[in-house]
Structure formats: structure tokens, C-alpha cells
Amino acid sequence: MSSKNPVRTAPHFVAEVDDSLGAVDAVKVSEKKSNLWLDAWRDLRKRPMFWISSVMIVFIIIVAIFPGLFTAEPPNSSCYLSVDPDRAENPLASSNGAPVAGHPLGFTKQGCDIFSRIVHGTATSLSVGLIASAIVAFMGVVMGGLAGFFGGWIDSLLMRLGDIFFAIPYILAAVVVMSVFSAYRSVPIIALAIGAFAWPSTARILRSEVLRIKQSDFVMASTALGVSKLKTLARHVLPNSIAPVIVVTTISLAASITAEATLSFLGVGLPSSIMSWGNDISAAQTDLRTNPSTLIYPSIALSVTVLAFIMLGESLREALDPRARALR
Amino acid sequence: MSTIPGTPLLEIKNLEVGFQTADGIVPAVRGISFDVFPGETVAIVGESGSGKSTTAHAIINLLPGTGRVTGGQVLFEGRDLTTLKTAEIESVRGRLIGLVPQDPMQSLNPVWNIGFQVEEAIRANGVATDRREVKKRAIQVLKEAGLQDADRRLRQYPHQFSGGMRQRVLIGIGLSADPKLLIADEPTSALDVTVQRRILDHLETLTSQKNTAVIFITHDLGLAAERAENIVVMHRGKIVESGPAIQILKDPKHPYTQRLVAAAPSLASKRIQSAARGEKLVPVVEGEDAVVDLTRAAERVHATTEDASHSAIEFRDATKVFKIRTGSFRSTDFTAVDKISFSVPRGSTMALVGESGSGKSTAAKMMLGLEKLTSGTILVEGEDVAKMNRAELFALRRRMQPVFQDPYGSLDPLHNIGNTIAEPLIIHKVGDSEARKRRVLEVLEQVSLPPELATRYPNELSGGQRQRVAIARAIALKPDILVLDEAVSALDVLVQAQVLNLLADLQAELGLTYLFITHDLAVVRVIADHVCVMEKGRIVEASTVDEVFDNPREEYTRELLDAIPGAKIDLAH
């Protein structure tokens, strides 16, 4: 600093030595263990939204597995659809009927108990959602993981394949598939039709995560250790990149349930012999003005279920996303 | 000048800054006071987390969202800046107090050209308003910042500029309104040492011409002493020592400052002597035997062929050419490593030194089998790495382990420390699970970490501790060779010294051979026996460390040595 002309000689100040000066880089072992998943769980536990959605989902699952616990009425007992010729009662007498004791939500045009149909339709909607989102997650992880990790022509091939599927709106694609295979309409087929066209977005999310994690030094260190490529992918890369996929999967579960309802409403979904909320909503369109409850109650069941999964996905996202956590 | 000489330009009085968190306010700066006089340079020195950047941001009210001043005053020409309204502080920023930010790569907006960004600053500071005037001033600013053909440069975009040129632009922007005070927050930490030197020289010339006061924030004590008259040493949000730079360096009073001075590699002059280091291996400067030993080792660097069995690592004309895609189907060749040859005797440390882009890391990766050689050979323990089949390479990996730069990326966050260290043992099927557990505890002890850590996860550890875990993982298999790729570059100086000491101890204890990749010549001096200076993929100078430091033959090496911050400060009285 020769060119500068200092105006003063600063006083030499020395702070008092206190005990804050510990050993260099002393190890502090904290009370609690901590890693991404433990931290996320601790965070989740504090979220009311997580608990509300979890309780709702557990309840929905119980309804789906044990419908008999919630309604004594067999689903089609009083319906014209399955009228028992020996029965004295005329089912059409209660067509579009108002709620009476034992039938809290009233009756459909066919004289079916709305409440019973909703309870028994839960299993269908839920299993379509679960199967479809399982397909989406599996395809997404396999395609996205391989594309991101191996790169090169594998990446180009898989991602262009994904683009082809991505370019077709999956509802439109499912409509086409279901119309072509109209003879085989069933829960697994409709789930497959939805899942087969919804995976590219999951694959893209995973691919970008894998690309990021792949650059980490710990991945290079494991390669230098002699860990094979596939093992590195399975042990180090995938576990570190799976968090956003879990979030997207819960949301895609909700979307699949809606998709089934949409397809059934359009008449290309499940056959009317299978009880589902989508079929009920579809059947209600003729009586919308005379008996709106045939539309409203299945719709509420559908919305509440979808809402529960979206809430779960949202709280998972906030717990797992370090950026969202840093903001608090 | 409006300030009367003799009164401080900036007075910081008992400044306290805290960050709002879920658990209440966490203090970051805890009651600090210092003055800056017109025209002088004050350096704030501290490790990461010491509150040095927070202090700088508090001065111009640029604290991030959750931070706020919780006490004290920042008096600038007698006005308390902490109480000013937004509009008022905006008229202070830029016009009276300029800022040169830390990272030149991220501080310029990539979608606007350089001219736009310089002109924006000029207009915002009210230096000029007329379009032609603004442009004229922008060209002048860039010329002052040391950019040639500034009028053409104005139309270019940040990606067309190198890191050093971007930092020049940022300095130009910081000084565009002729502020009375310039805050430079680690302005050259991301740049190569030679570039750093040129930029700081230029900054010094500019500020002394204009009599601008400078607050210079850095983690490097040597750099601070070289660039500032007065130093403020911060530790955990408090000032532990302040005063004239040379005085503090020569005679540090506070134990923390003493530690810092002792740990600064740029001020050290000798290789670390491990207490455990055996007679044979001592490469001391004094002591005749050792010197002879070193000379012989140095000869081996050049006489490669006959002596191959004695060296742990040998590079023979190793070359790596990358294909760089220039268009859809065209590509040009880029020679990252150009026919380098050297050999490393067993049990010694070879440093590959060079600035970014010199090919030093690529050389290490080729040796580790992470990149393929284009031509030439690399022999490890006499075996050709390129000719190995899978099984042989797998067997070799057991004897050769890497430690990488980034302490936050080198450990899998989802594996606990014990599993991380045990992974190499499992992969190479060493011992049963009991034996592995014992080995994990053994290496944890060797890197001086407590055994409880085995069940813990990396995010509980500091950078230095993570790096020690990475070293533990590397030595778990009892390898012969460690490749240390910038392994201490990201660490704070005290922690860096600790890890370097650990490495020296381990080398003496286990007879390890190190290939030490670094950009920092100062570190080379304390850890290495031999050094190869690399520039643009070639080795420009290869010799023993003492030879290179005392008697550099190449101009480039001399330039690198001169650029070591604080190298010219004579600490001897």
C-alpha cells in the first residue's frame, strides 16, 4: 500500500480471551440422529395437514377394504338393476326417493341406495388410483433413472420415447385405448390405460434429479471404489433422487382417480356393472335437475379422496424440499 | 472532499446483527466496533461463519430476508445508516458506498449485455442521465476497470467474459459513481491466484487515485495483510483483534489470531513434520541425508524408464483429448492433458499444481480410471492402468483411493458414517461384519473422530469433519496410494491445517504415496516433496518443492509464486 497515505495508525486492540475459543473443529454429537428422511419425518409430525390427510386416507382405505362395516345394505339390494324376482318390494317405488331411515342419502333413479353405492364404489376408485400411480412411478423411475444415469444414446432413446407419450394428452389416449379395448373394460385395464400415458412427467423429474446427483463426488468416490454402475445407481443415486418422485406420485394418485371418473363419465370407463364413483356421476347426469343428490354425493366422495391425497403430497413436498424448509 | 481529514468516514459502534429463525433470534454479529478513515483500506478477516460478510451487508442494509440489525450504530459521515428509510439508503448505496460482490460468475445478469448493466448502475446513481452521457461514462468506467476496446465490449454478454474480466466489470460498476467507500466482499476468492493478483493491484491503483476507502473482506490473513493497512480479525461474531496489519501478523496477541497466523499456509515455509514420521522418509530442508535423498528422488522424475519398479506412480506421455461439440455434428479436439510424464517415489507426495483448466484434475481422473487415456501410459506400481481388464482394475482400486474437493458432496447424505467407511470393505469383501465394524472404529480413531459418529449422518458434521470421514473411507482398505484432488481447498484455514497435519501423520504411519492436486502453491510447500507445475495441459516445471520455491526456472512458476498472497511479507523481524 505504498501509494496510499494512511491518515492514522490504528490502535492495536486485543479482545479479552474468553472460553469461546474451543478446539479447532470440535465434533459436536447432537442428541438426535439426523438425515434427510429423519428430518422430513420430524418436520411432517408437526404438520396438521399431514395428520388430517393421513387420517382421511386411512379411513378411505378401511372403507374400501371393509365396506360392510359402514353399510348393512348390499350395494344393489334394492335396485332395479339386480332386482330379485322373489322380492315383494318394488324397487322402483323408491326411485329418486328422499332419504329415509337406513338410507341416509336417498335413492338413485334405479332405486339404489346412494350411500351404499358410494361405500362400495370406494374400492374401485382407490384401486384404479393405486395401480395407475404404481405404474406411473415404476415406469418413471426405470425410464428416468436409466436415462439420467447412463446418458448418451440411452438417454436420447428413452426420453424421445417419453416425448412421444408426453405429446398425447393422457385422457385422450386413455379414451382411445378404452374405446378400442371396450370388450376388456376392467379395473386393471383402465389403470394401465391411464398409467401408460402419464409416466413421462415422472421420468423427467427423476432424470433431472439423477443428473444432479450423478455429479456428486460421492458417486465418483463409489465408482473409484469399484462399485459397479448399477449398484451405484441403486445404492447412492436413486435413494438421493427419489424424494420428488414420491411427492409427484401422491399427486398422480389423485389425478388417476379423477381420470377414472372422467372416463367412466364419458362412457368409456368401467362397465356399469362395476360400481365406481365415476359411473355414479355419469348415471346422475339424466336426473341432475330432479334429484341433484345423485350427483352431489358421489362427487363429494371423489373430491374428498382426491383432496386427501393432494394434501398428503403437498405436506410431503414441503417436508422433503430443502428449499421450502429453508424459508421457514 | 466533505469529510474533514482526521474524522472517520465510517464508524461502527457496538453493531449487533441477528437472524430470525424458528427458535428465536440467532446472533451473527455480537457488538463490534471499528472505524474506517477516508482513503484507507481495512480488511475484515475471519473464517466462514465469523460474521464478516454479515457485517458488510449490515453496513449498506443488504441483509438477507431474516437478518436485522438488533443494536448499535453504523455512522457514515455522522449519519446512522441503520435508521434510514428505504429511499434514503438507496441514495447511499452506489453513490456513497459501492459494493463489489463475491461471485463474479453469478453477479452479472446473463440475459443483458455488459453495457446495459454498467449503464443501469450509472443511471441509478444519477451520475449521468443523458443517453450519450451515460454511454460515454460507461465506456470510461470499463476503461478504468482495465478492459481494452471498451466500446466493443459494451455490446457483449457476461458469458463472453472470463471470471477475471467479469470481476473487473463489477469493480467498475462498484466504482462508477466515485463512492467514498467501497466494500469488496471476497472479490477474488473464485479466481486463480495470478488473476487475483492483477485484479487487486488494479483495484488498489484505482482506489488510491480516487482516495476511496475500502473495506476488504477475506478469509486469507496473508492477502489481508498484503492489501490493507489495518486488519479486523473476527471470530464468532466478535472482533478478537484489530490494528495495523503488519503488527498483527508479526506479533499476534490473541490466541485465536495466533492460531490463524500459525495455520496460514501462505506464511509457512516448511513441510509439515509429522511426529510419527520415520527416519527414512524425512524430507527436511536441513539435514544432509534428507537432502541427498530428495535429489535422488528428483532425478527419478526425469530418469523414468530404468527405475520404474521403485516408483508408485508413473506417467509416461499421458495425454487426454476431449472432443468438444461445436455444431450439430462437428467437433473440435481439446487437449486437456498434453504428454505429461513424471513419477512418484513410494511414500512421498507429488503435487500437481496449476490454475483452473491446466488439466491437473483430468490427470488424476485418468489415473483413477475415471477417464480413459487418449495416448501414453500410466503405471501404478508398475502396472499399466489402461491395459487392465475389469478384474485387474477392481483389484487396483483397493490399493489406490481418491479424496475429492467438495466436503459437502463427497459423502452420501443417506448413509451413516459407519456404513460410508465400511462400503469399500463390503465391496472388496474384506472380513466379516465384526471385522468390518472393528476396522471402521479403527480408522475413525486414525482420523481423530469419536466412535459415536459411526451411527450418525453426514449432515451433522462440519466440512473439515466430512473431509476427515472421506479420508477414513479412503484408507479403510489400507491402500498404498491416495489421490487428493483439491482435498483441502474448500476448508477454512485452521481446519485446513488440521487436515494437512492429519495427512502428514497418516503418510508417515502407513507409508502412503500421495498424488496431491491443488491450485494453491502455498499448500504445496507444507505437504509435498515434489511438484509438477502445469499450464494448459503441459508440465512446465518439475522438481523438488524446495527447488521450485527457492529457484524457480520458468517465468510462469515465478508468476505463480509471486501471486501467493502474503508471500512477500517478511515475518522475521
Average pLDDT over residues A169-178: 85
pLDDT at B301: 36
B 384-403 residues inside an 8 A Cβ radius of A: 393-394, 397-398, 401-402
- Evaluated on CA atoms A20, A21, A24, A26, the torsion sign reads negative
Higher pLDDT, residue A145 or B356: A145
Average pLDDT over residues B409-419: 87
Taking CB atoms and an 8 Å limit, are A220 and B370 in contact across chains? yes
pLDDT at A9: 72
Taking CB atoms and an 8 Å limit, are A25 and B459 in contact across chains? no
Distance CA A26, CA B465 (A): 9
Higher pLDDT, residue B300 or B191: B191
Distance CA A208, CA A205 (A): 5
Smallest CA–CA distance, residue A26 to chain B, in Å, is 9
Smallest CA–CA distance, residue B425 to chain A, in Å, is 9
Which of B108, B126, B166, B163 minimizes the C-alpha distance to B142? B166
Q: Which residues of B touch A215 (CB under 8 A)?
A: 409
Compute how many other C-beta atoms are within 10 angstroms of the C-beta atom of residue A313: 20
pLDDT tens sequence across B101-114: 887 778 888 888 88
Q: Which residues of B touch A225 (CB under 8 A)?
A: 397, 401, 423-424, 427-428
With CA atoms as reference, the chain A residue closest to B425 would be A225
Q: What CA–CA distances, in Å, run from A154 to A160, A161, B13? A: 10, 11, 62
Residues making up chain B, counted from first to last: 573
Smallest CA–CA distance, residue A27 to chain B, in Å, is 7
Average pLDDT over residues B256-272: 76
Is it the case that residue B531 has pLDDT exceeding 60? yes
Distance CA A230, CA A234 (A): 6
CB B526 within 8 A of CB B500: yes
- Cβ-count burial of B437 within 10 angstroms (0-12 exposed, 13-18 middle, 19+ buried)? middle
pLDDT at A327: 41
Is it the case that residue A19 has pLDDT exceeding 70? no
Smallest CA–CA distance, residue A253 to chain B, in Å, is 27
Average pLDDT over residues A218-246: 88
Is it the case that residue B303 has pLDDT exceeding 60? no
B37 interface with A at CB cutoff 8 Å: yes
Compute how many other C-beta atoms are within 10 angstroms of the C-beta atom of residue B466: 23
Distance CA B484, CA B503 (A): 10
- Cβ-count burial of B284 within 10 angstroms (0-12 exposed, 13-18 middle, 19+ buried)? middle
B465 interface with A at CB cutoff 8 Å: yes
Distance CA B350, CA A54 (A): 59
B116 interface with A at CB cutoff 8 Å: no
The type of residue at A323 is R
Distance CA A233, CA A206 (A): 12
Smallest CA–CA distance, residue B565 to chain A, in Å, is 14
Which of B254, B405, B456 is facing A17, going by the closest CB pair? B254
Q: Which residues of A touch B256 (CB under 8 A)?
A: 21
Question: Tell me, what DSSP letter sits at residue B470?
Answer: H
Which of A10, A33, A215 is facing B243, going by the closest CB pair? A10
pLDDT at A57: 93
All cell numbers assigned to B522? 502455498
Task: Give the distance from CA B569 to its chain's centroid.
Answer: 20
With CA atoms as reference, the chain B residue closest to A215 would be B409
Distance CA B30, CA B37 (A): 23
**Residue B425: which residues within 8 A CB-CB, separation 6 or more?**
B431, B436, B439, B440, B476, B477
Taking CB atoms and an 8 Å limit, are A4 and B406 in contact across chains? no
Predicted TM-score (pTM) of this structure: 0.78
CB pairs under 8 A between A and B: 161
Interface test with B, best of A2, A13, A24 (most B CBs within 10 A): A13
Calculate ∠ Cα A155-A158-A160, nearest 5°.
100
Phi/psi at B402 (5° precision) = -100, 155
User: Residue B270 — very low, low, confident or very high, per pLDDT cuts 50/70/90?
Assistant: low
**Burial letters for A38-58: b for 16+ Cβ neighbours within 10 Å, e otherwise?**
ebbeebbeebeebeebbebbe
Which of B412, B427, B450 is facing A240, going by the closest CB pair? B412
**Residue A230: which residues within 8 A CB-CB, separation 6 or more?**
none
B 347-386 residues inside an 8 A Cβ radius of A: 368-370
Taking CB atoms and an 8 Å limit, are A36 and B40 in contact across chains? no
pLDDT tens sequence across B181-226: 999 988 887 778 888 888 888 889 888 888 899 999 998 888 888 8
pLDDT at B217: 93
With CA atoms as reference, the chain B residue closest to A9 would be B244
Taking CB atoms and an 8 Å limit, are B230 and A10 in contact across chains? yes
Interface test with B, best of A25, A29, A33, A233 (most B CBs within 10 A): A25
Using the structure block, give the residue that is written with the C-alpha cell 485387474: B392
CB B336 within 8 A of CB B322: yes
B223 interface with A at CB cutoff 8 Å: no
Smallest CA–CA distance, residue B508 to chain A, in Å, is 22
pLDDT at B307: 41
Distance CA A51, CA A57 (A): 10
pLDDT tens sequence across B125-166: 877 778 888 888 888 888 888 887 788 888 888 888 888 888
Which of A11, A217, A225 is facing B409, going by the closest CB pair? A217
pLDDT at A262: 86
CB A257 within 8 A of CB A131: no
Which of A10, A34, A225 is facing B460, going by the closest CB pair? A34
Distance CA B97, CA B102 (A): 16
Taking CB atoms and an 8 Å limit, are A12 and B253 in contact across chains? yes
pLDDT tens sequence across B548-557: 888 888 888 8
B77 interface with A at CB cutoff 8 Å: no
Average pLDDT over residues A297-314: 89
Taking CB atoms and an 8 Å limit, are B204 and A3 in contact across chains? yes
State the average pLDDT for chain A: 81
